[in-house]
C-alpha cells in the first residue's frame, strides 16, 4: 500500500503539433470538398448573372454618353453619376472573372460534366453566354476605345468561340441526323442568335461594316428559322419546366439587340431598326399579358 501511495500520478500529455496537424488537415479537406461541390453544381447557366450585369453596364454607358440628337432623352440621363456606372462595370467584370475561373476549374476537374453539358440541347446554348458577357463588357468598357488595337484583339478572342459554337450547332442541323431543329429547338436556342448580333454590334463599333454585316446576316437567318420553329412548336408554357420559364423573355432580347446592332451598322435608326424594335415591343407585351392572364 505504501508503494502504491508513493507512485507519482499518471499524466496524459497531448502533443499539440499532432492536434494542430489534424485540425489543419480537416480544414483543408473541408475547403477542398466545398470547392469540389461548387464545381459540380456550377454550370454555364450561371453566366446569366454576368449577362444581366453586362447589359446593365452597357445600358448605363449608352444613357450617359453625349449625343447631338436634340430629340433624344440623353441630356436628361447625363445627370446620372458616372461613379455608379464605374461601380456597376467593375461589379460585372469581377463577377464574370470569378465565374470564368470557376468554370475553367470545372473543365479541368470535371470534364465529363462539361462534355455532357456540351451535348445537352439546352446546356449547349448557355455556352454562348461567357463570350456574350465579355463582348458586352468590352463595348461598355470605360478604358478601351473601339478603334484601339486592344479592342480589336479582344473582339477576335471573344468572337471566335461564338463562331465555333455556331459551326457546331448549325452544322449538326444540316449535316447529321442525330439532332433535328424541330425536336431540339427551345427558347434558349436564341442565345446563339444574341451572340451573333452582339458580335456584329461590337464589330460595327470598330467600323468593320463588312464583318458586322456578315455576322448579322448569319444571326438574322438563324433567328428566322428558330423563331418560326418555336412559334409552331410551343403551344404554351406548360411544355417548358417552371425553372426555365424566364427564358421566354429571350424572345424580346433577340429582336431588340438586332435593332441596336443594325443601328450601329447603318449609323441611323432606319426602318429595319424600327421594325425590329416594334417586334420586340409586341413580344414583350404578349409575354406580360400572357403571364397576367394565365
Q: Which residues contact 88 (CB under 8 A, 6 or more apart)?
A: 53, 56, 57, 60
Q: Which region, left, alpha or beta, applies to residue 236 given φ > 0 means left and ψ of -120 to 50 means alpha?
A: left
pLDDT at 1 over 50: no
- pLDDT tier at 136 (50, 70, 90 boundaries)? very high
pLDDT at 293 over 90: no
Quote the pLDDT of residue 235: 55
State how far the Cα of 60 lies from the Cα of 87, in Å rounded to an integer: 11
pLDDT at 288 over 50: yes
Q: Which residues contact 10 (CB under 8 A, 6 or more apart)?
A: none
Domain ranges of the chain: 120-293
User: Does pTM surpass 0.85?
Assistant: no
- pLDDT tier at 78 (50, 70, 90 boundaries)? low
Phi, psi angle pair for 43, to nearest 5°: -145, 175
State how far the Cα of 47 lies from the Cα of 191, in Å rounded to an integer: 12
pLDDT digits (tens, 9 = 90+) for 8-25: 555 544 444 444 444 455
pLDDT digits (tens, 9 = 90+) for 169-214: 777 666 655 566 666 777 888 888 899 999 999 999 888 989 899 9
Lowest mean pLDDT among 76-85, 127-136, 210-219: 76-85
pLDDT at 267 over 90: no
What would the grid cell of residue 59 be? 445600358
pLDDT at 115 over 50: yes
Lowest mean pLDDT among 103-112, 120-129, 141-150, 236-245: 236-245
State how far the Cα of 42 lies from the Cα of 103, in Å rounded to an integer: 7
State how far the Cα of 217 lies from the Cα of 211, in Å rounded to an integer: 10
Quote the pLDDT of residue 143: 86
Nearest to 157 by CA among 136, 131, 191, 127: 131
Q: Which residues contact 258 (CB under 8 A, 6 or more apart)?
A: 197, 216, 219, 220, 223, 276
State how far the Cα of 197 lies from the Cα of 32, in Å rounded to an integer: 40
What would the grid cell of residue 260 be? 441596336
Higher local confidence (pLDDT), 293 or 81: 81
- pLDDT tier at 242 (50, 70, 90 boundaries)? low
pLDDT digits (tens, 9 = 90+) for 26-76: 555 555 566 667 777 778 888 888 898 998 888 888 877 755 555 555 555
Architecture field, domain 120-293: Alpha/alpha barrel (1.50)
Q: Which residues contact 86 (CB under 8 A, 6 or more apart)?
A: 142
Q: Which residues contact 287 (CB under 8 A, 6 or more apart)?
A: 248, 249, 251, 252
pLDDT at 279 over 70: yes
Quote the pLDDT of residue 80: 60
State how far the Cα of 91 lies from the Cα of 57, in Å rounded to an integer: 9
With cell 462534355, the residue in question is 115
Mean pLDDT of 158-164: 91
> Cβ distance 57 to 88 under 8 Å?
yes
What would the grid cell of residue 96 be? 464574370
> Cβ distance 50 to 92 under 8 Å?
yes
Mean pLDDT for the chain overall? 78
State how far the Cα of 126 lies from the Cα of 46, in Å rounded to an integer: 9
Mean pLDDT of 99-118: 85
Instruction: For residue 28, give the 3-state DSSP assignment.
Output: helix
Amino acid at each position: 500500500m505504501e508503494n502504491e501511495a508513493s507512485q507519482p500520478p499518471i499524466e496524459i500529455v497531448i502533443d499539440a503539433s499532432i492536434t494542430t496537424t489534424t485540425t489543419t488537415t480537416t480544414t483543408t479537406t473541408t475547403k477542398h470538398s466545398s470547392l469540389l461541390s461548387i464545381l459540380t453544381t456550377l454550370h454555364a447557366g450561371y453566366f446569366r448573372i454576368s449577362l444581366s450585369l453586362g447589359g446593365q453596364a452597357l445600358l448605363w454607358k449608352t444613357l450617359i454618353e453625349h449625343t447631338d440628337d436634340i430629340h433624344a432623352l440623353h441630356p436628361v440621363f447625363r445627370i446620372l453619376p458616372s461613379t455608379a456606372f464605374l461601380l456597376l462595370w467593375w461589379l460585372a467584370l469581377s463577377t464574370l472573372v470569378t465565374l470564368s475561373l470557376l468554370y475553367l476549374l470545372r473543365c479541368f476537374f470535371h470534364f465529363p460534366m462539361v462534355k455532357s453539358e456540351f451535348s445537352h440541347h439546352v446546356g449547349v446554348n448557355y455556352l454562348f453566354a461567357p463570350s456574350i458577357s465579355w463582348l458586352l463588357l468590352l463595348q461598355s468598357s470605360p478604358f478601351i476605345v473601339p478603334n484601339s488595337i486592344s479592342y480589336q484583339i479582344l473582339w477576335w478572342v471573344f468572337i471566335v468561340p461564338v463562331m465555333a459554337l455556331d459551326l457546331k450547332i448549325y452544322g449538326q442541323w444540316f449535316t447529321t441526323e442525330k439532332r433535328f431543329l424541330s425536336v431540339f429547338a427551345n427558347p434558349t436556342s436564341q442565345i446563339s442568335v444574341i451572340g451573333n448580333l452582339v458580335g456584329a454590334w461590337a464589330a460595327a463599333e470598330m467600323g468593320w461594316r463588312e464583318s458586322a454585316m456578315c455576322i448579322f446576316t448569319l444571326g438574322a437567318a438563324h433567328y428566322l428559322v428558330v423563331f418560326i420553329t418555336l412559334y409552331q412548336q410551343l403551344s404554351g408554357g406548360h411544355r417548358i419546366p417552371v425553372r426555365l420559364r424566364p427564358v421566354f423573355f429571350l424572345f424580346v432580347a433577340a429582336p431588340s439587340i438586332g435593332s441596336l446592332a443594325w443601328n450601329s451598322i447603318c449609323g441611323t435608326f432606319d426602318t429595319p431598326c424600327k421594325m425590329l424594335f416594334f417586334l420586340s415591343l409586341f413580344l414583350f407585351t404578349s409575354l406580360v399579358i400572357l403571364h397576367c392572364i394565365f
